[in-house]
Structure 1
Amino acid sequence: MSNTKTPAQELQKHLQQLSDAFALRLQEDLPALGQDAEQLLNAADPHEQLRCLQTIREQLHKLAGAAGTFGFSRLGQRARELEQEAEHWLTTLQQEQQSLQDFSQSLQQLANQVYQPEPEPSPAPASASPSKSPQRERRIYILEDQYAVGETMRLTLNNFGYQAEHFTRIAELDHALQQQRPDALILDVNLPDENVTGLAYAASLQERLDEPLPLLVTTTQDDFATHLEAVRVGAMGFFTKPVDIPQLENRLERCFAQQQGEPYRVLIIDDDRELASRFSLILRGANMLVEMQHDPAEIFTHMRNFNPEVILLDVNMPNCTGPELAQIIRMYDDWLRVPIIYLSAETDINRQMNALIKAGDDFVTKPISDNALVAAVFSRAQRARLLSNALSRDSLTGLLKHADIKEQAAVELERAQRSGKPASVAMLDIDFFKKVNDSHGHAAGDNVIRALANLLRQRLRRIDSLGRYGGEEFLVVLPDCTAEQALRVLDEIRQRFAELKFIAAGSEFSVTLSAGIASTEAAPLSASELLEKADQALYAAKHGGRNQVR
């Protein structure tokens, strides 16, 4: 009998060797990280703190990128969270000693904890352990030669929570780019006072940048040739003047969501454990969350608990074939939007078509290269998430719709009851919103609603759920959050919102909000009872003079 190992076994052996070597390296890297955390905690000079933070961020970045690849998924996930916190301190240049102390202690906990490789992880959904740092304000550069048009765009985007800067000449924009790279660029195609068009400038700019810059184009030329040229320079949005700025901002938000959204969730169903582990390793290395299932009978548990966005399904499995399992999945309306990609060595086109006709969306033939696997899964997951968001989210704000945010509130309340941790919900309402519409028009009212939605997104954590409850009313779900903590956060949002300046028809105005909070701390409550308590608190805030949080 031959002792020759199969290619899959050779690969597994090699990956295990790499994993063992990585485990040895951790014995040096983690203590070094703990020492840097002590230096950060003891650094009295702000410049020294920033230097330590920069070193720590680089270490965490390397750790987060490598740990998951070698099977240390929990370590990699925690390193990623701490890297995001370090990035937050570096970009905002905030130096609150208590927060830095908490961050340093988290680093030391990471350094002191013993991690073991996890070749077959079962990661929690992305929302279970995100960074708790607020999202930083996005920096947007605008190249628009018409001063009034550019300034209106700048002021509106600032109200939406961005840091927008307007330039009328290419030379001014180039100078700003040398100082700091923005998160996105909005430029006009038509620049009559320049030697080149906006798209020609964008092409040269993208060539000299290390990474392409997210680009949105505005123009008076609504023709195919201009669209084509815009696509070729990397434009992600095309807007004909006069520009609908809320729609432009919505596209910006979509670009950022695609770039830095939560990792895609992939479920691999294959009776070949070695091959499934290899696929899992590849996809985890591409920053996706992966669960593996080897018994088709467990499909319901995985679908409900993991909520995958893509399913990789082997066609030929004992007891239950891939197409049979796909038909079982398609019996449930909640799972109709989940793409199913068949994996098989089958090359017969007719058999592939029969499998797709029964249930399925794509067919990938084994063996598949690493890049091809990642591309197939990523493209399907991206489209599925966009579709899911379009169906479940409000078109104006991008927040969850009424039914979806209520469902999320019920889910978080059940989770809080199981864990014993507190959870809070808050109802927010824009004060005298009818007067805004009557005095300034419905377009201005939409801008106010959109601005509050963005402010909530930026000031709250990723684990918090946000929804447009109806009209000018919002619902916020805050897991692992006491009423006192919720009050502090929402009152800060209330103050920030009141400071925003809106412009409509040449006149400037401000708007305030009122909010009511209810928490699970006082007594066990159902989701509907908790929402009713929050609504009563909001009612009290309204009748107590508005512009307050109760």
Structure 2
Amino acid sequence: MSDAPLYKNHVLMLSQSFFIKDNQAELLLHAHKYDFDIVFFTEVCEFVMAVANDEGDGLYVIDLDTLHNMQADMQDGRRTLMLGELLQRLPGDHSYVYLQSARQGGRFLLQQRLVDSHCLAYAEKPIANDVFVDKLFNLFVQKKRGDLVRMVVLGEVDGLDDAALLQERLEVVRHADAQTLHMRVKELRPDLVLVTDTEYARTDAIVRVLQKNIEADPVREITLLQRHPDTALTRRALADGFDTVLAVAEPGLLEAQLVNRANKIRINKDLIGKDRATGLLNKVGLQRKAQDLIRRAALEGRPLAFGIIDIDKFKTINDTWGHYFGDIVIKRLSLTLAPQLGEWDLLSRFGGEEFVVVFWDCTLEQGHARLDAMRQAFRAIPFEVARGDLRHFSFSGGVAAYPEHKSENELFLRADAMLYEAKQGGRNQVCTEPAGRCRVAMAH
């Protein structure tokens, strides 16, 4: 028997009154479809102890009506638990999801107190089972560490702590020559460019050259760092195309401003480049990152394996159990694939039931083996389509390799052709084409 937990994620929930429309069993049914479990607690001390001892990356949910119910229990000799006491007892190294009634939600001071008390999110009741579970799934996705944001700095900025910024997922690259900045930006594709007012005064065409490039990233921010207040300079900088102007402040304060900018950029990139349902890269996000990875592979002489995945008979799944259930299958597949990726691998929901994975420093043979292992892992998942009715689903895959195929488009077309071979060959298998022949990992 394996000691591995049945579900990859878990929710610890403190609630004395079951607020959901239906019942606990129904809520758990929905949660299990999304591959997480819910453990219910009715006593604060037990909940606090469980949170403190939890070594996983769970979500911790508190129904504020617990306080009201404890007041009602005073006749049985139980002491009233006040909100302040509850918040004090909660371990401070975790964040919490607070559930409240509409009446509680209308009290601004209560919301302020919650958000100042390690609040990950709050929600109002009543809320349907499926909606609540879907929101919790989205929180699991959002808790993943954000992508690295890269900033190129032109000019001398005293006291900027590059190491501290890197801890906040903001990488600093310093550049000294204004006239080669556009080439450096083309090479690195940074998300943020910081130009000092001294460099701007020397070469005022800097930002115009960056902004007019037809390949300029629409999300990239170009910021002027201004040492002394100068309204005329600010107006000219904004007219030239700078997105923002930051005043030089204490180094720690400047770093805080840059981290905030990086977080905003990260959100904008997510809106443009990530799939809202799964949190994975979408077609736009994959294109940029795959091109960057191919460029890096060329510089370092590394191989890549490019795989395309398509869920088998997905239309039948939708037609038989509904589009809502089809969405669950897609999300469960994303949860199955993501943990098997390396640090530099890419995973995208390319569209509908189709996914793309790019394996860094990986040969065609290794890519075939890794994608087939993913196929087997997904095939092993039981889906409860109705109470007591378990089904298993599958996907087919095709793999192509770099440097045999040089561009992202060539890799996609070759892998897509191999996916077609897998579908035509009976589905639930992965095809590659080494030495001009199709290798198939037969279905289990």
Compute the TM-score of the two structures, normalised by the length of structure 2: 0.78
Please name the residue that 1:396 is paired with: 277
Please name the residue that 1:309 is paired with: 191
In structure 2, C-alpha distance between the alignment counterparts of 1:499 and 1:194, rounded to whole Å:
43
Please name the residue that 2:117 is paired with: 233
Q: Percent identity?
A: 24
Give yes or no for contact 2:309–2:396 (8 Å, CA) kept in 1: yes
Please name the residue that 1:519 is paired with: 400
Please name the residue that 1:376 is paired with: 257
| Cα offsets for 1:80-123 (capped at 9, x unmatched) | xxxxxxxxxxxx999xxxxxxxxxxxxxxxxxxxxxxxxxxxxx
Deviates most, 526-535 or 347-356: 347-356
| Cα offsets for 1:409-455 (capped at 9, x unmatched) | 44434543444322111111112212221222111111111111122
| Cα offsets for 1:187-226 (capped at 9, x unmatched) | 33333884279xx888656545664423233445274326
In structure 2, C-alpha distance between the alignment counterparts of 1:444 and 1:513, rounded to whole Å:
15
Give yes or no for contact 1:143–1:150 (8 Å, CA) kept in 2: no
| Cα offsets for 1:456-476 (capped at 9, x unmatched) | 222212311111222111111
AA partner of residue 143 (structure 1): L
The answer as to 2:241 corresponding to 1:359 is yes
The answer as to 2:153 corresponding to 1:261 is no
AA partner of residue 190 (structure 1): D
Change (3 A) 1:431 1:202: farther
Deviation at 1:392, TM superposition (A): 1.5
Of 428, 439, 443, 1:547 maps to 428
Please name the residue that 1:88 is paired with: none
Please name the residue that 1:501 is paired with: 382
Deviation at 1:482, TM superposition (A): 1.9
Q: Which structure has more strand as a fraction of its residues?
A: 2
Q: Please give the residue correspondences for 1:281-292 in structure 2 after superposition, counting only pairs within 5 Å.
A: 283-284=165-166, 288-292=170-174
The answer as to 2:321 corresponding to 1:447 is no
In structure 2, C-alpha distance between the alignment counterparts of 1:196 and 1:498, rounded to whole Å:
49
Q: Please give the residue correspondences for 1:37-186 in structure 2 after superposition, counting only pairs within 5 Å.
A: 137-144=8-15, 145-146=17-18, 149-150=23-24, 152-154=26-28, 156-162=30-36, 164-171=37-44, 172-183=46-57, 184-186=59-61
Change (3 A) 1:358 1:500: same
| Cα offsets for 1:323-365 (capped at 9, x unmatched) | 6423433334633322333222212455435534543344333
| Cα offsets for 1:280-332 (capped at 9, x unmatched) | 455346553111112111222222222222222211227635x6423433334
Q: Give 3-state SS (helix, strand or coil) of 1:300's partner.
A: helix
Give yes or no for contact 1:218–1:238 (8 Å, CA) kept in 2: yes
Change (3 A) 1:175 1:277: closer
Deviates most, 241-250 or 323-332: 323-332
Change (3 A) 1:142 1:151: farther
In structure 1, C-alpha distance between the alignment counterparts of 2:71 and 2:148, rounded to whole Å:
40
Give yes or no for contact 2:306–2:359 (8 Å, CA) kept in 1: yes
The answer as to 2:138 corresponding to 1:250 is yes
In structure 2, C-alpha distance between the alignment counterparts of 1:310 and 1:457, rounded to whole Å:
28
Deviation at 1:381, TM superposition (A): 0.5
Of 323, 346, 361, 1:480 maps to 361
| Cα offsets for 1:135-161 (capped at 9, x unmatched) | x95554233443865555555455545
Q: Give 3-state SS (helix, strand or coil) of 2:198's partner.
A: coil
Please name the residue that 2:417 is paired with: 536
In structure 2, C-alpha distance between the alignment counterparts of 1:202 and 1:473, rounded to whole Å:
47
In structure 1, C-alpha distance between the alignment counterparts of 2:419 and 2:383, rounded to whole Å:
24
AA partner of residue 141 (structure 2): E
Q: Which sections of structure 1, spanning at least 5 residues, go unmatched?
A: 1-91, 95-135
AA partner of residue 167 (structure 1): F
In structure 1, C-alpha distance between the alignment counterparts of 2:345 and 2:84, rounded to whole Å:
39
In structure 2, C-alpha distance between the alignment counterparts of 1:328 and 1:408, rounded to whole Å:
24
Give yes or no for contact 1:239–1:248 (8 Å, CA) kept in 2: no
Give yes or no for contact 1:215–1:235 (8 Å, CA) kept in 2: yes
Compute the TM-score of the two structures, normalised by the length of structure 1: 0.64
Of 217, 221, 235, 2:98 maps to 217
Please name the residue that 2:310 is paired with: 429
Please name the residue that 2:440 is paired with: none
Change (3 A) 1:540 1:419: same
In structure 2, C-alpha distance between the alignment counterparts of 1:192 and 1:297, rounded to whole Å:
64
In structure 1, C-alpha distance between the alignment counterparts of 2:417 and 2:82, rounded to whole Å:
56
Change (3 A) 1:352 1:442: same
AA partner of residue 261 (structure 1): G
| Cα offsets for 1:53-103 (capped at 9, x unmatched) | xxxxxxxxxxxxxxxxxxxxxxxxxxxxxxxxxxxxxxx999xxxxxxxxx
The answer as to 2:212 corresponding to 1:331 is yes
Of 171, 180, 191, 1:298 maps to 180
In structure 1, C-alpha distance between the alignment counterparts of 2:83 and 2:206, rounded to whole Å:
49
Change (3 A) 1:360 1:206: farther
Deviates most, 495-504 or 461-470: 495-504
In structure 1, C-alpha distance between the alignment counterparts of 2:167 and 2:136, rounded to whole Å:
33
Give yes or no for contact 1:431–1:511 (8 Å, CA) kept in 2: no
AA partner of residue 258 (structure 2): V
In structure 1, C-alpha distance between the alignment counterparts of 2:268 and 2:327, rounded to whole Å:
23
Change (3 A) 1:215 1:151: farther
Give yes or no for contact 1:141–1:182 (8 Å, CA) kept in 2: no
Change (3 A) 1:152 1:185: farther
